[in-house]
Homo-oligomer: A and B are copies of this chain.
Amino acid sequence: MEEQKKRILLVEDDPNFGTVLKDYLMMNDYEVTHAKNGMEGFEKFKKDDFDLCILDVMMPYKDGFTLAKEIREKNTDVPIIFLTAKTMKEDVLRGYKVGADDYLNKPFDSEVLLMKIKAIIQRKATETISDSKQFEFKIGKFDLNSKLRFLRFDAGEPVKLSPKENELLRLLALHENDLMPRELALTKIWRDDNYFTSRSMDVYIAKLRKYLKLDEKVEILNIHGEGFRLVINN
């Protein structure tokens, strides 16, 4: 079976360590892009699609967490592994908040890192069955382009959607006629689950309903305690 090499973005400011790690990963059949600081890391991230990011936490100018936040704004899915110099609890917790998939304490065992990489990439691969690269949806008489973030009714003037509106509608569309669990949206879009983010989400549901009113065949139904359902009647 012909298998596409997985692409890793490695952001590590220590040139010695970075180079060694890069070479090690490449020897294990990954395609590695090495950035020497947060700034550069973000630039490279924007330019390419990666299957995984490995970020050093301690870096001058822009630390790993800040970089992760920026990356998350662009891409809610890409797995992130943090490298922390020592096991500081605050770091670990902060990492999870930003949506880390894992973290490793330096010095770490390279085989363990490989295992983690494998496990994480595999996990994503199974998750990403259908929602891989879907950015255009037909929703009744609407067209949603979630890459450009606009919603067009009946081939008319497109309305611009805010990032959150867009993500939420996209999630709903991905589950058209099916349940889109509340939890899913909260974890994928808001990455946090408390009373207020939950209310925030409800506010966005209201906004979307307003947009979608133009087509009376399209509606967002609530399933009490579970989530929402985008239905298209005919």
Contact = CB atoms under 8 A, between A and B. Distances in A.
Contacts of A89: 109, 111-112
Contacts of A223: 148-149, 160
Interface string A145-161: 00111000000000010
Interface string A190-234: 000101001000000000000000000000000111100100000
A111 B226 CA distance: 28
A115 B127 contact: no
Contacts of A149: 223, 226
A225 B2 contact: yes
Count of identical protomers in the assembly: 2
B92 A115 contact: yes
Given A125-B181, A127-B126, A162 B224 contact: yes
B179 A126 contact: no
Given A125-B187, A126-B127, A229 B148 contact: yes
B2 A125 contact: no
Interface in A47-63: none
B148 A119 contact: no
B127 A187 contact: no
Contacts of A187: 122, 125-126
B96 A130 contact: no
Contact of A93 (B115, B198, B225): B115
A120 to B, nearest CB: 10
Interface of A: 1-2, 89, 92-93, 96, 100, 102, 109, 111-112, 115-116, 118-119, 122-123, 125-128, 130, 147-149, 160, 162-163, 175, 178-179, 181, 183-184, 187-188, 193, 195, 198, 223-226, 229
